[in-house]
Amino acid sequence: MTDLSVSSSSLAKTLLPPFSFSLRPNVPKRLRFCRKSASFLRKPSSISRQNKLAVVTAIQVSTQSENDGFVLEDVPHLTNFLPDLPSYPNPLRKSQAYSIVKKNFVSPEDVVAQNVAIQKGSPRGVHFRRAGPREKIYFEPEEVRACIVTCGGLCPGINTVIREIVCGLNIMYGVHDILGIEGGYKGFYSKNTLMLTPKLVNDIHKRGGTFLRTSRGGHDTHKIVDNIEDRGINQVYIIGGDGTQKGASLIYEEVIRRGLQVAVAGIPKTIDNDIAVIDKSFGFETAVEEAQRAIDAAHVEVESVENGVGIVKLMGRYSGFIAMYATQASRDVDCCLIPESPFYLEGRGGLFEFIEERLKENGHLVIVVAEGAGQEYVTAEGHDAGKTDASGNKLLLDVGPWLSDKIKNHFTMFRKMAVNMKYIDPTYMIRAIPSNASDNIYCTLLAHGAVHGAMAGFTGFTVGPVNGRHAYIPIARVTERQKTVRLSDRMWARLLLSTNQPGFVASDKEKVDKEVTN
């Protein structure tokens, strides 16, 4: 990347006319501007159409030959839209901690491959910029006013991410002006803020939930960016799931349209682990670990009674990762039902037949069901459906009690067989706890990666591990689809081997055979 550094006197000549200085008690002198005085920045018409709308177009790059299939899905940089933006030496050069690192800064040429297992001679495929500190930054620390906002549902580790963004900005880069936006996106225009310091957030990682509070919906892009301008914010850190990151993308696009020097960084959050591209979402390991407690409880209960049937409902709106991983880890689960794998109740190879066989064999069984599984059956029985929450997510019908009633009625009325049903729903226990040690470390890496990226001038990006290496990913890439369990992968095959449950595919074959016969 070209070094656009200029002398301090030249910088002053460039910045002084449009900026007005403002001194505030206990806050370092910083450069501020309001919406009315922002006209000195590049007008939208002066930004090329390609850069203005690029959340990012894949850029073909070749280091060996023009046909090696190397694709870099790059993230936007502030200099794409503000080409005269000066750069500054990274203060980490003088950091005693970083002095022990053999290679202090990430090279502009460092990339992370989306696919690491490829065949000889095949295209090298998609790559992303590797996350980490750069030799040059595009914000002077004393001029930074950052803000952090958390949106959507709870997840273990949110407070750790908040803490490490604050400490990373302050300790690594010397940034002292950090705002917490309270109550989700609505907080931007309801004036709910507090000043965040390392001392204030020192022990929040030991608590569940979010220190900044959260909400769903309330996304008015123009109002939010108006507020960002009015407050002189130039770095925005957004922690949230799919809907939140889509909102972050809209904020980034509006910032570009107005030609503002504002870096927008996303930290993807979802307990369901359904964020595309990245290896896993933070809090997922903690959720799986906590789910074990519910499965263990169900197993103890059903072992202690005759014909005990335990049902544990776990989170998983559209993706069954928590249910699948918790089942694999437990070894006490007899059947796992997830949204990606249809199942049926009656007939040969159905769930009722499997339950009866397992009860005759072991005298008990445990079923894990993801909240999104079997929704078509519950809806078909006339239950209310089609409603959405404030974020636009479809409100699911409660499959757990429905399945419990179906099993109990079938064996009591038709099989004349008494079963002892035990139903456990640990949903809020799983998402409201603090993150475990592994997730705490992971959250630290995410937070620091976001801070390094924003300070280096990248914007419109999210950060996460891709094949074990943290990378900067265009926000649009992680929101274009939801990651789901692939029933053709080895992980699902391992689960079927572990539980020895039916594949629930015979019913469809029987339907086809019946249609052919008729």
In contact, 146 and 235? CB cutoff 8 Å: yes
Residue 459 has φ and ψ, to the nearest 5°, of -150, 165
Structure tokens at 428: 């809020």
**Is 392 known as a binding-site position?**
no
Torsion angle of C-alpha atoms 438, 442, 448, 450, degrees rounded to 10: -160
H helix or E strand, kind and range, residue 128: strand 125-130
- The residue type of 381 is E
Q: Which of 74, 272, 274, 439 is catalytic?
A: 272
**Is 118 known as a binding-site position?**
no
Give dist(CA 144, CA 179) in Å, integer: 11
In contact, 255 and 278? CB cutoff 8 Å: no
**Is 374 known as a binding-site position?**
no
Quote the crossing angle between the two packed helices 321-330 and 284-303, to the nearest 10°. Answer: 50
Give dist(CA 296, CA 333) in Å, integer: 9
**Is 100 known as a binding-site position?**
no
DSSP state at residue 307: T
In contact, 334 and 367? CB cutoff 8 Å: yes
**Is 338 known as a binding-site position?**
no
**Is 423 known as a binding-site position?**
no
**Is 220 known as a binding-site position?**
no
**Is 271 known as a binding-site position?**
yes
**Is 468 known as a binding-site position?**
no
**Is 216 known as a binding-site position?**
yes
**Is 180 known as a binding-site position?**
no
Name the β-bridge partners of 463: 472
Give dist(CA 496, CA 480) in Å, integer: 30
Residue 324 has φ and ψ, to the nearest 5°, of -65, -50
**Is 425 known as a binding-site position?**
no
Give dist(CA 145, CA 32) in Å, integer: 9
**Is 241 known as a binding-site position?**
yes
HSE at residue 4, side-chain half, CA atoms within 13 A, is 16
Task: Find tokens 């399945």 and name the residue.
Answer: 403
Give dist(CA 421, CA 302) in Å, integer: 8
In contact, 118 and 103? CB cutoff 8 Å: no
**Is 272 known as a binding-site position?**
yes
405 carries an active-site annotation: no
Annotated binding-site positions for Mg(2+): 242
Annotated binding-site positions for substrate: 270-272, 315-317, 371, 428-431
Annotated binding-site positions: 153, 216-217, 241-244, 270-272, 315-317, 371, 428-431
Catalytic residues: 272
Annotated binding-site positions for ATP: 153, 216-217, 241-244
